[in-house]
Chains A and B, each alone.
Chain A
Amino acid sequence: MSYLNNIGAYFLMIAEMFRKPTKWSVMKNLILKDIDDLVIGSLGIVAFISFFVGGVITIQTALNISNPLIPKYLVGFATRQSVILEFAPTFISIIMAGKVGSFITSSIGTMRVTEQIDALEVMGINALNYLVFPKTVALMLYPFIIAIGMFLGLIGGMAACVFGGYTSLEDYIIGLQTDFDTFHMIYAFIKTFIFAFVLATIPSFHGFYMKGGALEVGKASTTSFVWTAVVIILLNYILTDMMLG
């Protein structure tokens, strides 16, 4: 029953987030700050992980192709498909649920514990619009991070391929270009936009409605990570079935 209550409260929160908008002169600065905190601040970790995971995908694929009849360019092809379809949009989102999600939950949760949200509400400010809306808007730039993740994943794969001696650079590039379907990019970015919304709102929900003290802030961060990851995995299945199935 409490799950149903929480789902209902989550959708009410989303509706409330768009009511009584904060003055644009203030909101603009909040959005810019959140872009810096949530998007720009995540570039380093996403770049690092993408590059090395791209390399690992390439090595694993190359090592598992022992049949000489299978063309060498398949390594590049498999890397591209894995990185664009799943690794970049989905698995980076799960990593971001840990990084960005726990940051959002703990920062909003701390504001709740220290009565800063009460202070906003007493002033007549829609605290949900003030706190959650700018994060949601900022994370609409999240596909930009994913695009960088895709690019660096493919570059990481190329580096592993060439320097590890698994295939030639030419074969890898041919593999990247083989049977390229632009719809796969569209599919990946549609997923990314939806995951961005989930990444902004589920952690905000857990932070905003938390009760208790510092210990509960930590618990809320953990719960928010678990639920964000679960929702991303479920939505990934549904969207993949709908768009590619």
Chain B
Amino acid sequence: MIEVKNLHKSFGDVHILKGIDTTFEKGKTSLVIGQSGSGKTVFLKCLLGLFDYEEGSISYDGKIYKQLNEDERRNLRAEIGMVFQGSALFDSMTIAENVMFPLQMFTKQSKSEMEERVNFVLKRVNLDNAHNKMPSEASGGMQKRVAIARAIVNNPKYLFCDEPNSGLDPKTAIVIDNLIQEITDEYNITTVINSHDMNSVMEIGEKIVFLKDGHKAWEGSHKTIFKTDNEVVTDFVYSSNLFKKVRKMYLEENQ
């Protein structure tokens, strides 16, 4: 479980995160949503330890990040898996080498053990025949799946995904969403996803945190987001005509 208390982050005079409080539970897929510029990426980078923050605290299963020493932070980071928006696969390595990388860095496994684990994980993300391809030879959807495989290969406790669907067609996006959901359930990990994709919200948003101008404007789930009267959330959710129609139908059905 990840607990965030009163998180503040500024860049110079620009106050980006203005006191965020929330909790991300173990075994659940949590989504952080909001418009571009709402502070989602900065929030995620604070959770990842890539950005230092001025005020507040983040704790991972009770361990407060700022109170950890260098070695403890390093150990904590080894328990984190991250799927970047652009996949961030290492260009100079094959797909199998990319997935094997965290094992090489953090475990003392033999080569055959690592290969076995890589085969298993690549099979899990339905990429059993792509071992020797270079990332540049893989499609966007494949790259995302490799990134997921690399993120989970070392059995992380926490999985973070930054816009995992960006640049993917709707069908592939659903495949990626479902894969993240299944992996979260299977490995009982704490998953936090940054997104502004409403399909993801509907599919996998067991918990949703809505950010607006660096504040937490709303918190709920995919079951409650379509019922809320919070104007900030409805403005965002129903900015698409499709969702306006869905809401209209929903309200008509419930009248």
Contacts and interface: CB of A to CB of B under 8 A. Distances in A.
Contacts of A20: 70, 74
Interface in B23-70: 48-50, 70
B77 A119 contact: no
A123 B77 contact: yes
Contact of A124 (B73, B84, B86, B89): B73
Contact of A26 (B49, B92, B104): B104
Given A20-B74, A124-B73, A124-B77, A119 B105 contact: no
Contacts of A110: 91
Contacts of A22: 105
B50 A124 contact: no
B86 A122 contact: no
Contacts of A116: 88-91
Contacts, number: 53
Contacts of B85: 115
Contacts of A155: none
A121 B76 CA distance: 12
A23 B105 contact: yes
A139 to B, nearest CB: 18
Contacts of B90: 111, 116, 119
B91 A122 contact: no
Contacts of B73: 124
Contacts of A5: none
B78 A119 contact: no
B105 A122 contact: no
Interface residues of A, number: 18
Given A115-B85, A119-B82, A23 B104 contact: yes
Interface in A15-40: 20, 22-23, 25-26, 33
Contacts of A26: 104-105
Nearest to A124: B77
B91 A125 contact: no
Contacts of A111: 90-91
Interface string A119-137: 1011111000000000000
A20 B71 CA distance: 10
B80 interface: yes
A170 interface: no
B102 interface: yes
A7 B202 CA distance: 50
Contacts of B92: 33
A144 to B, nearest CB: 24
Interface string B87-130: 01111100000000010111000000000000000000000000
Given A123-B106, A124-B74, A124-B75, 8 more contacts: A20-B70, A114-B88, A115-B85, A121-B50, A122-B82, A123-B78, A123-B80, A124-B106
27 contacts: A20-B70, A23-B104, A23-B105, A25-B104, A26-B104, A110-B91, A111-B91, A114-B86, A115-B84, A115-B85, A115-B88, A116-B89, A116-B90, A118-B84, A118-B88, A119-B82, A119-B84, A122-B48, A122-B50, A122-B77, A122-B80, A122-B160, A123-B77, A123-B102, A124-B73, A124-B76, A125-B105
Interface of A: 20, 22-23, 25-26, 33, 110-111, 114-116, 118-119, 121-125
